[in-house]
Amino acid sequence: MIASLAKKMILVSALGVGLVGCVPKTPESQTPTATALPQPLPTPPVFDEAAAQGCTGGQPGKVTLNGALVKPGKDQASLDSRFQFKQMIGQSSNQVLAKLSIQGESALSHEADFSFLKALSRNKTYFNSGCILTNADTEGLTEFFAESSEDNDDTAISIFVTKAFFCGSQNSQRYYYLINTDELVLKDANFNLENFIGAIYLNAAKINLIGHNQITTKGARVGALAMTGPSVEMIIAKEVQGDGSMLIETAGADCPTLETK
């Protein structure tokens, strides 16, 4: 099911359409495991001067934020002060600023379906990317190595663990993250995606923010086309911890010029 979903997300993103927030559910009776992610075929760039002259800039990736990081309001929801996000349309070739499309509009909600996260507290595994951990951090847990599964590689990763730790700069070659965990710990973590495909999904029962954390996505240019930026979705079911911060920035690709073809 997840492999099929990932394939659909990649195809939709490659067409430059903002991704709609959607997270697969894991039955409580089933131990979650990493899921195979299909590898997309590269699209050869083709430059078209007429298209370049009419390019209005790529759309930013859709930002979907649900759960405890969103405060419900009478008229509209607002974000926890530790979170910020920005969406930027790519630079046009004719200096005309395009409007944000309906598909790319952000979505904030305090309500969400968190049932797929329930089984993860019993998973008893942890994943670490770049952090120095103590015994107390991982007591009672067994480490999950992404490279031990043929379903993960340097371009895409899908994990289901009790605790996930991310510190510092993450693999810049990855275009797809699907992180499902009971507890997500971010310490000065920096995710940077620049591609015409891809998405980041960070889903957790609780999140602990340490230092300044950032997610940056930007659409890539394919020939004369300025593509939509990769989307970002975050679901935090129960609690936001820590005195750190999280900045999410998504941007569309800049239009080509005759000088940059």
Average model confidence (pLDDT) across the chain? 80
Burial level of 88, CB count in 10 A (0-12/13-18/19+)? Answer: middle
Decide if pLDDT at 47 tops 60: no
Domain limits, the chain: 2-25+47-251
Beta strands in the chain (DSSP E): 63-67, 70-71, 78-79, 83-88, 107-109, 125-129, 142-143, 156-169, 176-195, 199-210, 212-219, 221-222, 225-226, 231-241, 245-251
Q: Which two tokens stand for residue 159?
A: 């994990």
Q: Which residues contact 260 (CB under 8 A, 6 or more apart)?
A: none
Question: Could you identify the residue written with the tokens 């969406």?
Answer: 87
For 60-75, write each residue's pLDDT tens digit.
Answer: 999 999 999 999 877 7
Decide if pLDDT at 155 tops 70: yes
For 125-145, write each residue's pLDDT tens digit.
Answer: 999 999 999 999 999 999 998
Reported residue count of the chain is 261
For 213-246, write each residue's pLDDT tens digit.
Answer: 999 999 988 887 888 999 999 999 999 999 999 9
Decide if pLDDT at 2 tops 70: no
